[in-house]
Amino acid sequence: MGNLEASIVLAGVGGQGTLIAGKLLGIVAMKLGLDVKVSEVHGMSQRGGSVITYVKIGKEVHSPIIEEGTADFLLSFEEVESVRWASLLKEGGVMIVNSQQIESLPVLMGQVQYPDGIVDALKAAATEGTKIVEIDALDLAMQVGTSKATNIVMLGALSNYLGVDEALWKEAIEDAFAAKAKTIPGNLKAFELGKQAGA
């Protein structure tokens, strides 16, 4: 039985695999014999809109909802999403930001500009003890041949902070992708690359 207790927010845009990442964290928790609640809040996920997944892990979890200022970890799969959901992170929490920028419809239509210097601004605003880790998860995913592995790269980065044995993560990846067995080696490599980048 593990003693992991964590509130994790996965924030991204439709198609980035936040839901699969949430399910994978659920598998890890169950392998540790822990209670887990995963809640998915779909925005306009089909249109590249904001998608957020809450994951709560512990001995006993009553609600999947993560209130403002209580998340231990915020994984932002896209830069603007890190700003949109930053208020959920608690003081002394860890934010892992994928440096990928996905232009929203207003940006594409020229109505607004994509903001500059997001991660620097987050670091400047962060309270003492709060850690902001920036990685290029898309680039690392492309090293294994598919942008679809971005979510696994992000989980690899997160794994540095959860104290869960690497073998257990690998088992969880194998379980999660059992129906698509040929993707397992690439996902395991993506996890490794993310772990290195987030260390």
Q: Which tops the pLDDT comparison, 31 or 45?
A: 31
Question: Which 8-state DSSP code applies to residue 148?
Answer: G
Q: What's the maximum distance between 2 C-alpha atoms anywhere in the chain?
A: 53
Partners of residue 39 on adjacent β-strands: 54
With cut-offs at 50, 70 and 90, classify the pLDDT of residue 134. Answer: very high
CA distance 7 to 26: 12
The residues spanned by each domain of the chain are: 6-198
Is residue 116 within 8 A of residue 99, CB to CB? The reply is no
Give me the chain's average pLDDT, please: 87
Strand order in the sheet with 50-58: 35-42, 50-58, 6-13, 71-76, 89-98, 131-135
Q: Worst-scoring range by mean pLDDT, 47-56, 81-90, 107-116, 131-140?
A: 107-116
- pLDDT tens digits for range 47-80: 567 888 999 999 999 988 899 999 999 999 988 8
CATH 3.30.2010.10 matches 6-198: no
CB atoms inside a 10 Å sphere around CB 42: 14
Q: What is the pTM assigned to this prediction?
A: 0.88
Using alpha carbons only, give the angle 71, 27, 142 rounded to the nearest 5 degrees: 80
Using alpha carbons only, give the angle 122, 90, 192 rounded to the nearest 5 degrees: 70
* Closest-CA residue to 94 (of 193, 14, 7): 7
pLDDT at 35 > cutoff 80:
yes
pLDDT at 27 > cutoff 60:
yes
24: phi then psi, degrees, rounded to nearest 5 = -65, -40
